[in-house]
Amino acid sequence: MYEDFHVTDRWSGEDLHCRWKGTMVAIATRHADAVDVRYDVNGRPMWIALPCTAWVEQKKRTGMVITDQLAAQIAGRYLKQIVEEGYDSRREVYTMTVDEVLEHLEVVVAEAKAQGQMPTLPVWAGNPLAING
């Protein structure tokens, strides 16, 4: 669904190829209470930060957890939305709110159910976080 997709930039009309590259806990890397999901957008890194409190809120509301696969799908759907709405392409990091995470989660789960299953994340050869990888 959102691990490898194309979207058209609202302002330039450019076709952007977005590919999931990796997911990491930002506590160690940025000292942030977030999970960072990296996408390459036409080869340029773009990070979507999901607050860790979204995991807590999801568990509290439903008793279910946000998996790594769901986090990547949520971030990808958010990335697609901000591009379509006219995002600032110079920014490398976008931070979602807890409410945004949970809203996108509901849509992703509904889309996955309609397709019959949650897509699996690809395994990239080499270092998934390498700049040119």
Neighbours of 82 (CB within 10 A): 19
Q: Is residue 63 packed enough to be buried (19+ CB in 10 Å), middle (13-18) or exposed (0-12)?
A: exposed
Query: H or E stretch including 7?
Result: strand 4-8
Is there a contact between 110 and 7 (Cβ–Cβ < 8 Å)? no
Domains of the chain, earliest start first: 4-115 (3.30.160)
CA distances (Å), origin 78, targets 29, 72, 125, 133: 22, 10, 26, 23
- Looking at the chain, the number of H-run helices and the number of E-run strands are 4, 5
Residue-level pLDDT, tens digit, the chain, 133 residues: 999 999 999 999 999 999 999 999 888 777 789 999 999 999 999 999 999 999 999 999 999 999 999 999 999 999 999 999 998 878 899 999 999 999 999 999 999 989 887 666 665 555 555 544 4
